[in-house]
Amino acid sequence: MMQQYMKELEQEPFEAEEFVERLAWRTIAETKHEGSDDEDFNPTLLHESFVQAIKDLTLLQERQQKKCEKLENAVREDEALFFQEVYNLFEQNQQAMLTFQELDGKINTVATKVLHLGDQLDSVNGPRSRVVEAHRLLGHLSEFLSTGPLVSSVFTDPYRIDEAADVIQKLYLISQDFPQKFDNVKRKIERKYCDIEKLLIEEFVRAMEKGDKKRMKEIAVVLSQFKGYSQCVDAYIDYSQVNCLSGKDMFAHLLSLCEYNYEIIQKVFSNPDQVMAKFVLNLYQLKIAEYIEQKLNSKLGTYGYLQTLFELYSKTNQLSNDLGIFNMGNDKNFLIKLTTNIFNKHISDYITMELKCLKERCSANLQKYYESKGHQKKQIQSGGFQDLRRDLQAVIGTRANINIAQIENYGGETFLSEELAIVILQDTKHAFERCQLVNSN
């Protein structure tokens, strides 16, 4: 029964009244005999069953109470144990904080001493290094003072070109203050300066052909101290823009060319904004201008010329807009100015040419239409009196059925053509689009 009581007591939700009802019904069911009627009821057995159930439940309560007390004692022991562990960890953390603060103070003290020592070493080593550098330069200067050729490996070893460039650049600056009696030495230094500068540019070109960006950057840094640094930039631009006008879609190729070289310029040169601006300037003034001149100087006819001009102007403007993402200095109108300079001479008389072309095309289309109808347009006299006379003759002849003048109606042909009107409107629309583009810039 204990197991039965446990199952019923653990049911959720537990109802005490239902528990008593089930106990009573079980007792009554057990006391009844098979085939007996409902009046065969023994209250004594029911009372004894309730008393026994109370004893069982009391015993069950005592057992559960002991289990609870045992679990509570275990929890209290664990709580005390964990509290002691937390307290020990807290004490260790406090000790670690004190140790850390002590070490931090020692580190700051040592760092202060090291910094002071470093300053002292710099104050001693700075003049010493300058003296060593001056001694080294004087040794190389003595070679230029001698009449013979240079024998130092710095100038004769091609693998020490960077070191030679550093030495000759400093000697060149020093030689600018030489008195007149040292002009021969000064010229000798200048010749070596130019030779090394030329060798550096050649080395830069070789590295560029190999795609060695690291070496290109090293040489560009060295050449940035030389007068011929711009020649290094020019060599890069010329090499990068070789055959840039080839291909079907030349403008799309130029955009990808600029995107590719922009990344290289950012990595190689110390002044990438100025180099990129010069790259684009060379592209516009030489390459694009040459391409446009070649296209527009072809025998295109007036209409073909205007169409080609419109197409080239549109693509150049689009290229300028696309290149606007690159940083090329502080002039925001840089690309607009380049485009304007290219097309200035081509659009100076643009309006006159456009109007003339539109009139000629309209006249040609009209004449072609008349020829298709076998008609020749007559020159009609115009003027106030002539117009009035022609209108009166037409009205009187119509109402009175009198042929006052020789009026031709060409068999009812009105000489009005929807197709011709559409062609003229299309020509006018295209002319307006071209004017709008040119005027917007």
pLDDT at 34 over 50: no
User: Which of 32-46, 261-275, 358-372 comes out lowest in average pLDDT?
Assistant: 32-46
Indicate the domain borders of the chain.
Answer: 1-33+41-70, 96-240
Residue with tokens 């549109």: 314
pLDDT at 100 over 90: yes
What pTM did the predictor assign? 0.58
Query: pLDDT band for position 379 (50/70/90)?
Result: low
With a pLDDT cut of 90, the percent of the chain lying above it is: 22
Report yes or no: 254 and 288 within 8 Å, Cβ to Cβ: yes
Res 419: pLDDT: 78
- CA-to-CA separations, 170 to 21, 164, 197, 200, 222, in angstroms, rounded: 113, 10, 13, 16, 12
Residue 377 is classified by DSSP as: -
Q: Which two tokens stand for residue 350?
A: 């643009």
Which among 117-121, 200-204, 296-300 has the top mean pLDDT? 200-204
- CA-to-CA separations, 106 to 92, 109, 434, in angstroms, rounded: 21, 5, 78
Res 376: pLDDT: 62
Res 92: pLDDT: 93
pLDDT at 266 over 60: yes
Q: Which residues of 408-440 are buried (b: 16+ CB within 10 A; e: fewer)?
A: eeeeeeeeebeebeebbeebeebbeebeeebee
Residue 33 is classified by DSSP as: P
The full DSSP string for 112-167 is HHHHHHHHHHHHHHHHHHHHHHHHHHHHHHHHHHSSS----HHHH-GGGHHHHHHH
Report yes or no: 308 and 296 within 8 Å, Cβ to Cβ: yes
Length of the chain: 441
Q: Which two tokens stand for residue 182?
A: 């040292």
Q: What mean pLDDT is predicted for residues 391-403?
A: 58
pLDDT at 35 over 50: no
Report yes or no: 171 and 140 within 8 Å, Cβ to Cβ: yes
Residue with tokens 């990129």: 276
Q: What mean pLDDT is predicted for residues 164-186?
A: 84
User: Which of 198-207, 247-256, 349-358 comes out lowest in average pLDDT?
Assistant: 349-358
Query: Is the four-CA dihedral 420, 425, 428, 429 of positive or negative sign?
Result: negative
Structure confidence by residue, pLDDT tens digits, 56-94:
778 878 888 898 999 999 999 999 999 999 999 999 999
Spatial distance between the Cα atoms of 400 and 407, rounded to a whole number of angstroms: 14
